[in-house]
A and B are shown apart, each in its own frame.
Chain A
Amino acid sequence: MELMSKEREYKSLHIALAGNPNSGKTTIFNNLTGSRQHVGNYSGVTVEKKEGYCKFQQYELLLVDLPGTYSLTTYSPEEVVARNFIVQEQPDVVVNVVDASNLERNLYLAVQLLELERPFMLALNMIDVAESRQLIIHDEILSEQLAVPVARTIGSHNEGTDSLLVAIVKAAYQKRAVPFAIDYGPDIEADIQQLANRLAAVPQPLQYPLRWLAMKLLENDQDIIDRVRGVAGGSEIVQYSITLREKLQNKLGEDPEMALAGLRYKFVGALYRQAVEGRPDHELTISDKIDKVLTNRVLGIPIFLGLMWMVFTLVFTVGKYPQDWLAQAIKVAGQLVGQQLPAGDLKSLVVDGIFGGVGSVVSFLPLILFLFFAISLLEDTGYMARAAFVMDRIMRQVGLHGKSFIPLLLGFGCGVPAIMGTRTLENPRDRLVTILVSPLMSCSARLPIYSVLIGAFFSSDIAGNVLFSLYLLGVILAIIMARVFRSVLFRGATEPFIMELPPYHWPTLNSVVIHMWERSYLYLKKAGTIILAVAILMWFLTNFPSAVPYSRDYDAVINQAEVEFTQQVEEDINQPLAIAAIDDNAALKATIDKLLAVNEQFKQATADLEDDDPELAALSEKKAKTVQALHAENAASFAMAAYYVELQADLDDVKADVAKAKAAEKINQSYAGTIGKFLAPLGRPLGFDWKMNVALIAGFSAKEVVVGTLGTIYSVGEVGAKTVPLQMALAADPAFNPLIAYTFMVFCLVYSPCLAALATIKRETNSWKWAFFAAAYTTGLAWIMAFIVYQGGLLLGIGV
């Protein structure tokens, strides 16, 4: 009799999913693991590592979704990662997910996987598509010829998942009598044998199957050559393999690598003809019909641009609402927390530094979510490949790749989603160049800087042109730098554009959502920690030293004003009315309170309105009417009440002015200010003084901060939508003129991407090196461009 045990014992099985891109492998992975998955990176490379688990009968399956590959050569990091994983991690089963409607090509990878000699099974996915193309597949022939279990699935409908799991378990326990081997013909087989014998004699065993190593040496596989060289006696073996290769080349009349590939395909072709009935014709599929419109010679580009506009709008225009809401919510949360703290440095650190810093990062989250929703949709439907197809010609002229277009376009909104969007670029070189060039697409955070400075120094008829010139400059610099990077830094073999145009299909909500969530969570985690750290640093630099010796005794000024206020109230209100204090006269107090309430309400309602906003005029009128009504109601006390309110307002103004002046002096003497002055010699050739330097330094953390910092420096208080006071202050500053303003804008356009973007670069490239490089080259380039603009302007005598 069985004892009832509370815990079932689970056997752990380690499974690797491999297959072509677009074979539906990831959908199957999602079907198996649901949300129980995790995305990371393979160490040292920017290849994504996807792991998850699921329970089946008494097994616990640990699944790894290997990157999609067409082959297992060394030409891409994905392929190397996939094959190394299979050999080194030794999964219990390699599950090859194949697109059943495209079987012949998919089998090419299958045989290569089999040659790695791990337990193997074949999952014929997308059976529905194969059937709709009148293809009849004889599973038993495949199973027999390859000596592996075969299962049928329709991943998009989550069908066949159970039989897949059964087959996986079967494959794990199946023992092969003889490892899978293709007969490559007498010449090649003889050489393989020779090399395998020598490799067997090596004292330090390499983890790979000997036959496979021998084949790779003959195929001139650089990765394997390096590994073999790395063991005792290996160099001689490699040398021998080179001799064998040459002889083979002469005998066969072609490169052994091509010969082996050709023979593999011959095997696959023969197997395919045996196992599959019904040739896929070159008749028009539904996808072809859709493409008649979408990649049409005339409509192709307009449709593409239209779709891009929609993505852009979704991400930045629609995303702005949740972004603003989230930013507001964080601000409020910060204030609530701040109320619990005593006034002082800790409070300032928490409210301004932490909540302020975190706010800017977390508020990006809606944009990220929308972006990856859009990208997932485009990718899953298969449209992304068409976009690259349509744009490739133009992008290639500028040293980029067709798939670079979308990320760069997103850069006009925000660099963070743009950089994350480069994941669609398979080729690491293209991806890097695109990432490095993306900051030059002037992001939306820089727009307030332009609008303030253009408003202050340029007349409204040329304002539009000035703005456009900046954006255009960014694009031109991006093109130049792309070409420079391509030819100087990333020289080498031209990467092929050869790319499959997968059939269109409906995206599954499941995979789109999972995809979207993965990226967003990682963004929050990684970018958030760095942003937070530097936001705190910036807060520190701009707020300390805190005990600043002021040029005037501001406290005395406030005291003075308060004394005068009390005196005036006493003389002009209290004495005539024969009261000791305002509160004593109930009617007066009530009127004062009502007036104050009206003023307060007006202030709040108009806080964000521009001076020429019609709503402002309407609200002003309404206020005037309300005041008139109050006057009529409280005729007796109105005059005194209005006078009191006026005195109060004057006192408040004095306090506000003092606060602004204190803040300005504080920043002047802060560490940031000191650094700004220290950097003055660097800024002088560009026409910048210490104030601009400080603003630019603050801008490293986030470009939005530049305008705010300028506002503080010029002591105009909080800079909201009403930037007119700042514009007036700037225009009045003799250190500023149109030329310097333009130079400043050019510098802002080009210099270092903000922290969030840098953190994203670090994450996407998996190295600090590129993040630093991006910051350094853009800042250097910014300096050079600003220098050219300023000095050039001085020479030509414009704008001064």
Chain B
Amino acid sequence: MFKLLSQLTSGQQGMVSKIIGSGVIQRRLLDMGITPGTVIRIEKFAPLGDPMEVKAKGFNLSLRKNEAKNIEIEMA
């Protein structure tokens, strides 16, 4: 099953299947190591609901929901 990273909730985890689009945000995601095949897990959301914190490749990354919607995730 495929979802967008922005649609996941705390504790959920999946594998990046695709980075949608190509621009500054997508490039930055790649630079940070969010590439197809990477396993991502949602850690939590900020007190006001946005941004979100995820774990990937052994480190913690924060990103806004509207940036997360560029990442397609394959759920286990």
Contacts and interface: CB of A to CB of B under 8 A. Distances in A.
Contact of B53 (A105, A389, A496): A389
A125 interface: no
A497 B49 contact: no
B47 A104 contact: no
B53 A501 contact: yes
Interface string B24-62: 111111111101110101011111111101010111111
B14 to A, nearest CB: 12
Contact of A280 (B27, B30, B57, B63): B57
Interface stretch (A82-90, A141-149, A209-217, A261-269): A261-269
Contact of B57 (A104, A255, A394): A104
| Residue among A73, A291, A493, A497 with max Cβ neighbours from chain B (10 Å) | A497
Interface in A624-672: none
A31 B58 CA distance: 27
Interface string A266-289: 000100000000001010000110
B22 interface: yes
Nearest to A292: B44
Contacts of A499: 61-63
Given A73-B31, A261-B27, A392 B58 contact: no
Contacts of B44: 291, 295, 297
B46 to A, nearest CB: 6
Residue in B13, B25, B27 whose Cβ sees the most chain A Cβ within 10 Å: B27
Interface string A493-519: 111111111110000000000000000
Contacts of A70: 28, 31-32
B47 A297 contact: yes
Nearest to A285: B60
A493 B23 CA distance: 9
A104 B44 CA distance: 23
A447 interface: no
Given A75-B27, A108-B33, A269-B37, A393 B57 contact: no
Contact of A257 (B22, B36, B45, B51): B22
A108 B38 CA distance: 14
B4 to A, nearest CB: 15
Contact of B43 (A102, A104, A288, A301): A288
A68 interface: no
A104 B62 contact: no
Contacts, number: 131
Contact of B49 (A71, A257, A393): A393
B30 A258 contact: yes
A498 B63 contact: yes
B19 to A, nearest CB: 7
A493 B47 CA distance: 27
A389 B51 contact: yes
Contact of A265 (B33, B46, B60, B62): B33
Contact of B30 (A101, A265, A392): A265
Interface in A527-557: none
A296 interface: yes
A105 B33 contact: yes
Contacts of B26: 258
A463 interface: no
B31 A108 contact: yes
Contacts of A288: 43, 60
A300 interface: yes
A385 interface: yes
B51 A393 contact: yes
A223 to B, nearest CB: 14
A280 B38 CA distance: 13
Chain B contact surface mostly: mixed
Given A75-B24, A501-B60, A496 B67 contact: yes
Contacts of A796: none
Contact of B61 (A255, A287, A501, A503): A501
A255 B47 contact: no
Nearest to B33: A105
Contact of B50 (A254, A296, A393): A393
A494 B66 CA distance: 11
Contacts of B46: 295, 300, 389-390, 392-393
A496 B28 contact: yes
Contact of B51 (A102, A104, A301, A392): A392
A298 interface: yes
Contact of A104 (B33, B45, B55): B33
A28 B48 CA distance: 37
Nearest to A497: B64
Contact of A101 (B23, B39, B58): B58
Nearest to A402: B51
A155 B4 CA distance: 39
A500 B61 contact: yes
Contacts of A282: 13, 39, 41, 55
Interface string A388-409: 0110111010000000000000
Interface in A95-140: 101-102, 104-105, 108, 133
Contacts of B23: 493
A498 B32 contact: yes
A280 B62 contact: no
Interface in A553-605: none
Contacts of B64: 392, 396, 497-498
A501 B32 CA distance: 12
A497 B63 contact: yes
A262 B30 contact: yes
Nearest to A112: B31
Contact of A392 (B13, B22, B25, B50): B50
Contacts of B33: 104-105, 108, 265
Highest count of chain B CB atoms <10 Å: which of A102, A133, A393: A393
B32 A500 contact: yes
A104 B24 CA distance: 22
Nearest to B64: A497
Given A297-B47, A300-B46, A262 B35 contact: yes
Q: Which of B22, B25, B30, B59 has the most CB of A within 10 A?
A: B59
A75 B60 CA distance: 22
A102 to B, nearest CB: 5
Contact of B27 (A257, A287, A296): A257
Contact of A498 (B13, B19, B25, B58): B25
Nearest to A261: B30
Contacts of A501: 53, 59-62
Interface of A: 70-71, 73, 75, 101-102, 104-105, 108, 133, 254-255, 257-258, 261-262, 265, 269, 280, 282, 287-288, 291, 295-298, 300-301, 385, 389-390, 392-394, 396, 493-503
Given A258-B19, A498-B61, A498-B64, 6 more contacts: A282-B41, A295-B44, A297-B47, A396-B64, A500-B62, A501-B62
28 contacts: A70-B32, A71-B31, A101-B58, A104-B57, A105-B57, A258-B19, A261-B27, A261-B35, A265-B30, A291-B44, A291-B53, A297-B44, A301-B47, A390-B46, A390-B48, A392-B50, A493-B24, A496-B24, A497-B62, A497-B63, A498-B28, A498-B29, A498-B32, A498-B62, A499-B62, A500-B32, A500-B62, A501-B61
Top 8 closest pairs, chain A to chain B, by CB: A280-B58, A393-B48, A105-B33, A71-B31, A300-B47, A501-B60, A255-B22, A70-B31
Interface of B: 13, 19, 22-33, 35-37, 39, 41, 43-51, 53, 55, 57-64, 67
